């Protein structure tokens, strides 16, 4: 009899403790959300205005590259979640698209993985690129710190606009080392490269930007414009009806406008849950608790975009083309505390943008999570420098925990961003539009 009572008591104890731990996770999460005032992402209606139309044309326009062979969309494939599926990006002087893209002979991939372009309009985003080399500095005299230094043009509206100019002047991104055009343009381009390329980098950048601007809209006063220049002038005039002279900042602001509208991803289950519209399944709740409580991933992957937009090292060390170590943020600040640090990536839509990390060295989310627990590889020459700057968890994570963490990351995914309307069927130059077929991507 006593045994039976004991069995019942033990059973009741286990039952209630299992039930209460389930309730606990849920209850814990609700309290955590309330205490930390976690809110859904802002969701303004998309305004497809004339500035957006201009930006859309420019994003897919190969006239932005020296030899008319590369556009922003060549690497940021809209139908491939704004990225290219490559470990390291291949720009001017490459062929094929997406995972099949290869560098032509004599060219090499860039040093870093192509970042996705989701939600960069958000006010939280004040530093762009893996190393933050484009940064808002509203207190300073030039407002934006960029590789253009003090020559950054006036009139840029935000960090995203300042960023847009950098791929244009970056070698092997949109810019080529040599010109291979035809006719008069080839003569002009060659002369430009001959006269300026090795003179002074800041001047060369400005001269080069005005070459690209001229190619699109010609000089002011509508004389002698080609039909393509006339089309672009019309687009600029509609986008900026109060202006008669256009600058490279007008081009940059339009590119930013297109990206902030087209790549805003607002329909995640997480946001719907925060609005009280849906329930959160059990595995996802467990994952959320591991994320916010046990492992405090949100120490870095914080706020609405799941990034602090600050710089950390989790031990991903990579070599550049020239075989030197990619020093990350240190290359921008020259401050030793920034050695090997990279900007925390946002985790919205991270499920869709493999491979991972600044060097694209990690193929799966599972391995990306493990990397935070394993850190620098002991057998590498740079192990010592790496361990000095490294963040690493003390205890190893369990495999079943990784699985539920990934369930939580899937809760941050918004597939509805793939809308074919964002890809134009043609651009004013008539050059091909680089994009993958949506059916290839979705299957
Ligand atoms: C050769 C491929 C390639 C081309 C072409 C290219 N990008 Fe990128 N983009 C990248 C890579 C690689 C990075 C990350 C570079 C780094 O951090 O050093 C990046 C980063 C960015 C970022 C920063 C994202 C963030 O989270 O900080 C933005 C914005 C962006 N690109 C927009 C553009 C625009 C606009 C164009 C066209 C004017 C363009 N890109 C052309 C490969 C490319
Ligand atoms: C100390 C700050 C920090 C913490 C804590 C942290 N991360 Fe990260 N995470 C980073 C940084 C920095 C990177 C990029 C590293 C690089 O590219 O060199 C990264 C990369 C990632 C990536 C790859 C994303 C991409 O687009 O390449 C995933 C996924 C990720 N973290 C998930 C997590 C999870 C889950 C946790 C908790 C278990 C976590 N992180 C904890 C800083 C952190």
Give the domain ranges of the chain.
Answer: 50-265, 268-410
Instruction: Classify domain 268-410 at the CATH class level.
Output: mainly alpha
Whose atoms come closest to the Cα of 307: which ligand? Answer: 2
Half-sphere exposure of 365 (CA within 13 A, CB side): 18
Q: Is 82 in the pocket of ligand 1 (CB under 6 A)?
A: no
Q: Is 368 in the pocket of ligand 2 (CB under 6 A)?
A: yes
CA distance 30 to 282: 13
- In this prediction, residue 199 carries a pLDDT of 86
**List of residues 6+ apart from 360 with CB closer than 8 A:** 86, 87, 88, 112, 113
CA-nearest residue for atom 41, ligand 2, is 297
Whose atoms come closest to the Cα of 161: which ligand? Answer: 1
- Mean pLDDT for 227-234 is 96
Residue 60 Cα, ligand 2 centroid: separation in angstroms? 31
Q: What is the per-residue pLDDT across 302-319, written as a single tens digit (0 to 9) for each?
A: 999 999 999 999 999 999
CA distance 50 to 237: 9
CA-nearest residue for atom 6, ligand 1, is 72
- Tokens coding 435: 């994009």
Residue 139 Cα, ligand 1 centroid: separation in angstroms? 26
- Mean pLDDT for 63-70 is 98
Q: Is 110 in the pocket of ligand 1 (CB under 6 A)?
A: yes
Same fold, 50-265 and 268-410: yes
Q: Is 174 in the pocket of ligand 1 (CB under 6 A)?
A: yes
- Tokens coding 440: 């290839």
CA-nearest residue for atom 13, ligand 1, is 114
Q: Is 295 in the pocket of ligand 2 (CB under 6 A)?
A: yes
* Closest residue by Cα to residue 197 from 217, 179, 173, 220: 179
Q: How confident is the model at residue 244 (pLDDT cuts 50, 70, 90)?
A: confident
102 and 95 Cβ atoms separated by less than 8 Å: yes
Residue 223 Cα, ligand 1 centroid: separation in angstroms? 35
Write down the mean pLDDT value for the chain.
91
* pTM across the whole model: 0.94
Residue 70 Cα, ligand 1 centroid: separation in angstroms? 12
Q: What is the per-residue pLDDT across 368-386, written as a single tens digit (0 to 9) for each?
A: 999 999 998 888 888 888 8
Residue 245 Cα, ligand 1 centroid: separation in angstroms? 28
Q: Is 87 in the pocket of ligand 2 (CB under 6 A)?
A: no
Residue 96 Cα, ligand 1 centroid: separation in angstroms? 18
Residue 22 Cα, ligand 2 centroid: separation in angstroms? 27
Place of tokens 């992957």: 301
Say whether the peptide bond before residue 355 is cis (omega within 30 degrees of 0): yes
- In this prediction, residue 3 carries a pLDDT of 60
408 and 45 Cβ atoms separated by less than 8 Å: no
Q: How confident is the model at residue 13 (pLDDT cuts 50, 70, 90)?
A: very low
Region of residue 68 (phi > 0: left; psi between -120 and 50: alpha; otherwise: beta): left
CA distance 152 to 147: 8
Q: Which of 84, 87, 297 to mutate to test the pocket of ligand 2 (most atoms within 8 A of CB)?
A: 297
CATH tag, 50-265: 1.10.760.10
Q: How confident is the model at residue 122 (pLDDT cuts 50, 70, 90)?
A: confident
CA-nearest residue for atom 43, ligand 2, is 300
- Mean pLDDT for 272-296 is 97
CA-nearest residue for atom 10, ligand 1, is 114
């Amino acid at each position: 009899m006593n045994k039976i009572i004991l069995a019942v008591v033990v059973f009741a104890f286990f039952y209630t403790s299992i039930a209460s731990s389930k309730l606990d996770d849920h209850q814990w999460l609700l309290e955590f959300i309330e205490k930390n005032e976690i809110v859904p992402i802002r969701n303004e209606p998309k305004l497809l205005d004339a500035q957006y139309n201009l930006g859309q044309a420019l994003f897919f326009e190969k006239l932005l590259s020296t030899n008319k062979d590369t556009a922003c969309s060549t690497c940021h494939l809209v139908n491939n979640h704004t990225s290219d599926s490559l470990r390291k990006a291949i720009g001017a002087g490459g062929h094929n698209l997406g995972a099949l893209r290869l560098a032509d002979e004599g060219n090499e991939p860039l040093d870093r993985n192509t970042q996705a372009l989701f939600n960069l309009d958000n006010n939280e985003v004040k530093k762009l690129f893996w190393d933050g080399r484009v940064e808002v500095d509203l207190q300073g005299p030039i407002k934006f710190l960029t590789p253009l230094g003090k020559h950054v043009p006036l009139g840029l509206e935000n960090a995203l606009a300042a960023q847009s100019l950098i791929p244009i002047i970056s070698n092997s991104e949109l810019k080529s080392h040599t010109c291979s055009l035809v006719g008069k343009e080839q003569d002009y381009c060659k002369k430009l490269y001959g006269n300026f390329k090795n003179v002074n980098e800041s001047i060369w950048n400005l001269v080069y930007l005005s070459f690209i601007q001229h190619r699109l809209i010609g000089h002011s006063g509508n004389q002698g414009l080609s039909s393509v220049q006339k089309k672009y002038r019309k687009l600029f005039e509609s986008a900026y009806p109060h202006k008669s002279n256009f600058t490279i900042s007008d081009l940059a602001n339009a590119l930013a406008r297109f990206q902030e509208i087209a790549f805003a991803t607002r329909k995640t289950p997480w946001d719907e849950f925060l609005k009280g519209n849906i329930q959160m399944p059990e595995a996802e709740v467990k994952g959320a608790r591991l994320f916010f409580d046990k492992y405090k991933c949100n120490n870095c992957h914080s706020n609405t975009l799941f990034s602090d937009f600050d710089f950390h090292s989790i031990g991903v060390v990579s070599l550049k083309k020239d075989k030197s170590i990619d020093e990350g943020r240190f290359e921008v600040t020259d401050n030793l505390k920034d050695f090997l640090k990279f900007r925390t990536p946002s985790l919205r839509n991270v499920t869709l943008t493999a491979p991972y990390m600044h060097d694209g060295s990690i193929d799966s989310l599972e391995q990306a999570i493990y990397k935070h627990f394993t850190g620098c590889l002991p057998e590498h020459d740079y192990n010592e420098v790496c361990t000095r700057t490294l963040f690493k968890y003390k205890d190893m994570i369990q495999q079943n925990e990784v699985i539920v963490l990934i369930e939580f990351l899937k809760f941050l995914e918004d597939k509805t961003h793939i809308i074919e309307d964002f890809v134009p069927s043609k651009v004013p130059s008539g050059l091909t539009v680089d994009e993958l077929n949506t059916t290839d991507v979705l299957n």
